[in-house]
Amino acid sequence: MSEAASGAPSEGPATSTTDSLVGEEYEVEVGPVAHGGHCVARTEAGRVLFVRHTLPGERVVARVTEGRSDSRFLRADAVRILDAAKDRVAAPCPFSGPGRCGGCDWQHVKPGAQRRLKAEVLTEQLHRLAGLTPEDIHWDGTVEPAPGDKVAPGEVPAWRTRMGYAVDEEGRVGLRRHRSHEIEPIDHCPIAAPGIAELGIETRQWPGIATVDAVAATGSADRQVVLTPRPGARLPIVELDRPVSVLRVGEKDGAVHRVHGRDFVRERADDRTWRVGEGGFWQVHPQAAELLVDAVMRGLTPRKGETAIDLYCGVGLFAGALAQRVGEKGAVLGIESGKRAAADARRNLADLPRVRIEQGKVEQVLPRTGITEADLVVLDPPRAGAGKRLVERVAALGPRRIAYVACDPAALARDLSYFATHNYRPRFVRAFDLFPMTHHMECVAILEPVGEGD
């Protein structure tokens, strides 16, 4: 069926003075999934669409949400499903769908199929950016769910222990729409962890507030909210359904100030309690820290007396796990850019004198340490990845094994290609679905020098 015959406008020169194609509709056959929570489709004229709210193999009417007549590609939403895929379900979240909340990508997909889509994305990124196949990296092609996250189609695991809410000018709380500053008001978020939901943030008015960030620790009963007032507004009295610490973001300095309660939460992983202050990183899924520590330590197999380096160490999770395993004759260096996180790491690991924490940018601090070799390295970089120069420095240390923890498959693939030029290859890779209903995943790659472990 042609676009004209289907009632969808055919592709042609834009008639508006700005050449915007927003609002134009095309009937398309949906192609493969792509990195970013959308699928690729082409109009009859060959124009590329990145379409959300659809699945490979479907036939849909896609409405353009971003793009001009001269754009390389257009972004679009599937607004009518003409031929549905077998893995499609009705979205369990009432706030999901075209033009609505942008927090989730795959509410309309069966849980098992979500993991298959993520596996396809990881496979494609590895092949395109690093020339690697699943066999090359000893990956069985599965994205592993966290224990307890296996739910029936139409159900949603409540996993998100950190939520960032936006507040509209009327004081209603909500979440941002996809690639937008517009706010979708909500009265609950299905993926919010019970510790978040029980605070009752979504059912209250927040006059004078721009954002509400909430944390529900999984290793303790600690609950925390961080409020950002609108310019010139006064902080309201905060009365929630559970005891909670309250912090605020200063209008003039942008710093976080304690209003009442603790300015940190206590988490639990690897048989230790971890203090995490505002600005310190901790995994969002309640089981993520334990799962990733286990995967990293199993892959590295630390030995007594070894030296190890934990880059982007945060509050010290991997550094502490390494220190426990290399023993009193071993040594661990952690490097973290955030001042508060580095201070928390020192406090968290104060009982382990074999650990040293340095604060500053990893790329600058590592060369200044004077360290020329290490047995083990953990890399847990931000979403952009480690990059070519840092990979070169890590490889120059000659570690027998490297653990790379990645939250972005494209960054992982690029960095694996850099490691390959220094004769490091993956011993194995594991992928974890620690962000159900979204396109995100977490990967652990264990690398070793070529020729070892064959």
Q: Please identify every residue annotated as catalytic.
A: 407
The DSSP string of 291-358 is: HHHHHHHHHH---TT-EEEEES-TTTHHHHHHHHHH-TT-EEEEEES-HHHHHHHHHHTTT-TTEEEE
CB atoms within 10 A of CB 180: 12
Distances 6 to 26, 51, 80, 159, 388 between C-alpha atoms, Å? 9, 18, 12, 41, 49
In whole angstroms, give the CA distance from residue 254 to residue 319.
30
3-class secondary structure, 421: helix
Helix (H) or strand (E) run with residue 119 in it: helix 111-130
* Distance (Å, whole) CA 436 – CA 155: 11
Place of tokens 């380096």: 309
Sheet-wide strand order for 401-406: 143-145, 424-433, 442-449, 401-406, 376-379, 307-311, 331-336, 355-359
Provide CB contacts within 8 A for 135, sequence distance 6+.
none
Among 182, 211, 186, 210, residue whose Cα is nearest residue 200 = 186
